[in-house]
Structure 1
Amino acid sequence: MRAMKGGKPESVTVQKKLIRGERASAAGGSVSFEVRDKPASLKTDDWGRVVAVFVLGKEWQFKDWPFKDHVEIFNKVIGFYVRFEDDSVEAAKVVKQWNVKIISISKNKRHQDRTAALEVWERLEEFMRAHA
């Protein structure tokens, strides 16, 4: 990890064992994901490596992205919106218009977080296979 001023890393690398498919065999069973918090720091060449985005449900999140609209964004990358299951649906109204996967988690049943995390990984892997 490379640290920025203030000690927060610019990126974190996550090594993930693939579940199935040709990529699992080709990659020796695993793949590395570079996780970033600030897409503004991406260079033009970096955008081709972006495979997923966690959305906040706000239009400003996509300001200065190199895509013309949400349709283009979510055809090129998979989007996830993580919400608490008892949050108001108002927050998710905008997101429902986008091609993103809504993942609901419980504030009180945190043992179910693993299931939500597995859903994210499975959908990401499925998306990557479909767009290989």
Structure 2
Amino acid sequence: MSEEERVVAVFAQGPAWQFKGWPWSGNPVEIFQKIKAYHIKWAQLKTDANIAKWCVHLIELDQNKRHLDCARIRTFWDSLDQFIAKHRSTLRY
């Protein structure tokens, strides 16, 4: 199994250059078809234009309702577990 086949998730910040030197020509659209992508942001802030057009799971945290952070993080783990079961079932976790 190659290194990129072991990668199950990435946190995208917004700029495409973040993936320079990655497999699949560093193309975020192609990368996110194979690897689950996440972006964490404050709910009050505007979503980055690249994040909005890419296949990225958006996790919004509210600065005034920090007690909800735990639930948001739980959705992260649930979606990652579902992705691994569907796309990387040969990995042991």
Classify the TM-score, shorter chain: 0.7 to 0.9
Aligned with 1:111 (options 51, 67, 84): 67
What do you get for the CA RMSD once the two structures are aligned? 1.1
> How many residue pairs are counted as aligned between the two chains?
86
Q: What is the deviation of 1:88?
A: 2.2
TM-score, length basis structure 2:
0.85
Q: What is the deviation of 1:99?
A: 0.6
Taking CA–CA contacts closer than 8 Å with sequence separation of 6 or more, which of the two structures ends up with the larger relative contact order? Answer: 2
Q: What is the deviation of 1:82?
A: 0.5
| Matching of residues 82-101 of structure 1 within 5 Å | 82-89=40-47, 92-101=48-57
Per the alignment, residue 14 of structure 2 pairs with: 57
| Matching of residues 1-132 of structure 1 within 5 Å | 45-68=2-25, 69-89=27-47, 92-131=48-87, 132=89
Unaligned runs of 5+ in 1: 1-44
TM-score, length basis structure 1:
0.61
1:55 alignment partner AA: A
| Structure with the greater alpha carbon radius of gyration | 1
The whole-number CA distance in structure 2 between the counterparts of 1:66 and 1:76 is 11
Higher helix share: 2
**Percent identity of paired positions between Structure 1 and Structure 2:** 35
Higher strand share: 1
The whole-number CA distance in structure 2 between the counterparts of 1:126 and 1:49 is 16
Q: What is the deviation of 1:61?
A: 0.5
User: Runs ≥4 in structure 1, deviation > 3 angstroms?
Assistant: none
Q: Deviations over 1:17-58 (max 9, x none)?
A: xxxxxxxxxxxxxxxxxxxxxxxxxxxx32221000011011
